[in-house]
Amino acid sequence: MAEASENPAACPRPLPPAPDRVVVSGAPVEGTWAGAVREAGFGGLSGEYAHGFLGRRLVEKRWQALFLATPQVMISLAIVDAGYLSSGILSVFDRGARRMLIDSNPVLPPLFAWVAEEPNDGMRAVLTGPRIGARIERSGGRILATARWGNAAVDLALDARRGPPAMTAVSRLGPGRFNFTQKLVGLAAEGEIRIGNARFEARGEPAGLDFTHGYLARDTSWRWAFASARQAGRLIGFNLSEGFMDAGAGENALWIDGAPCSVGPVRFDFEPSAPLAPWRIRSADGSLDLTFQPEGYRAQSLDLKLVISKYLQPFGVFSGHVTNTSGERLELDSLPGVTEDHTARW
């Protein structure tokens, strides 16, 4: 699986340790780090970042999302508090039949979703709605993700105590706007997913979590790729994006059996009008070159005039190569994961 890199100089860079807090001297601390911040709240923001209650309801977005691939299914569960509206996602893709078993993304009034500012112990995200109840909560390094959603039920327990360190990033997005995110991979998942009479077990496969909290721009878009899986006994994870949090090292990170490292800017090439066509994702320094082959997808185009959302999210597998910080090149073959093309006016 591994071989010497053809370009040893093109290696990801180790990330420095995370700072103690997101906000210092009234402003967000920008950067990309390994590990979690101790104080993730936005209290103390001042100057251009100070918003009253109404201002925060208009610009503040928070979400907690989970992704898990087992040999049978891939699941995406998210709880989204967008201030003046609530939303969530539950999608389960049957890898054998290559079809979506459930694909639900309701838009609900405010207060139907609530996501705490804390992404670590004490993390809590809750969504309620018609025939919907979902929670993602963390205590003592144990994460419980449960949902009752139409004819679907999710009961998963994730262990963050033995997983690798998080990737944490904070990036300025414009005057008075910034985003804070924490990504986790390698969280051993146990439990069950049920869709009608179909039952699928999780038996230690490595799940990933995406916590995001920011004052986002009215018009926001991104291309995104994410994976958390094992191949040939090694834990491989990555979080890659383009068009969002592009300043500095951004949120582009790679995990190989340990702490995350930075892979720098990446470029996505794909055809939005052909959702099952391959994607190509490459880092600027050549240390990462991936082809993503979709096996199925979910898509939505929502136009509520004041709020617009258009996304394409394929489920599939990644092949290609990644390089670790020591220059070791790893060939990937059909590593399960997800990509996304999203444009929002919110």
DSSP 51: -
Q: Where are the domains of the chain?
A: 2-345
Q: In this structure, is the dihedral angle defined by the CA atoms of residues 170, 171, 177 and 182, taken in order, positive or negative?
A: negative
Contact status, residue 186 vs residue 68, Cβ threshold 8 Å: no
Q: Which of 98, 91, 101, 126 minimizes the C-alpha distance to 111?
A: 126
pLDDT tens-digit map of 81-95? 999 999 999 999 999
Q: What is the mean pLDDT of residues 251-263?
A: 97
Question: Has residue 76 got a pLDDT over 90?
Answer: yes
Q: Summarize the confidence of residues 313-333 as an average pLDDT.
A: 96
Q: Where are the alpha helices (DSSP H) in the chain?
A: 53-59
Tens of pLDDT, residue by residue over 271-286, are 999 999 999 999 999 9
DSSP string spanning 145-199? EEEEETTEEEEEEEE-SSSPPPEEEEEEEETTEEEEEEEEEEEEEEEEEEETTEE
pLDDT of residue 213: 98
3-state secondary structure of 53: helix
Q: What is the pLDDT of residue 8?
A: 45
Q: Report which residue type is found at 239.
A: N
pLDDT tens-digit series, residues 28-74: 999 999 999 999 999 999 999 999 988 899 999 999 999 999 999 99
pLDDT band per the 50, 70, 90 thresholds, residue 307: confident
- CB neighbourhood size of 134 (10 A): 23
The sign one gets for the Cα dihedral 256, 262, 267, 273 is positive
**pLDDT-derived band of residue 116, with 50, 70 and 90 as boundaries?**
very high
Quick one: average pLDDT of 307-322?
A: 95
Given this model, what pLDDT does residue 6 score? 46
Cα(158)–Cα(165) distance, rounded to whole angstroms?
Answer: 15
Over the chain, what is the mean pLDDT? 94
pLDDT in tens, 100-109: 999 999 999 9
Query: What pLDDT digit, counting tens, does each position of 151-204 carry?
Result: 999 999 999 999 999 999 999 999 999 999 999 999 999 999 999 999 999 999
Q: Is the pLDDT assigned to residue 215 strictly greater than 90?
A: yes
105: tokens are: 């993304």
Nearest-angstrom CA–CA distance, 29 and 14 = 19
Distances (CA, A) of 162 to 80, 153, 166, 261: 27, 26, 12, 18
Strand, coil or helix: what is 272?
coil
Contact 66, 207 (CB under 8 A): yes
Q: What whole-number percentage of the chain has pLDDT above 70?
A: 97
List, in order, residues 6 or more apart from 334 with CB less than 8 Å away.
317, 318, 319
pLDDT at residue 329, rounded to an integer? 95
Residue 306 — very low, low, confident or very high, per pLDDT cuts 50/70/90? confident
Question: 330, 308, 282: which is closest to 218 by C-alpha?
Answer: 308
Task: Report whether pLDDT(110) > 50.
Answer: yes
Q: Which pLDDT belongs to residue 304? A: 79
pLDDT band at 3; cut points 50, 70, 90:
very low
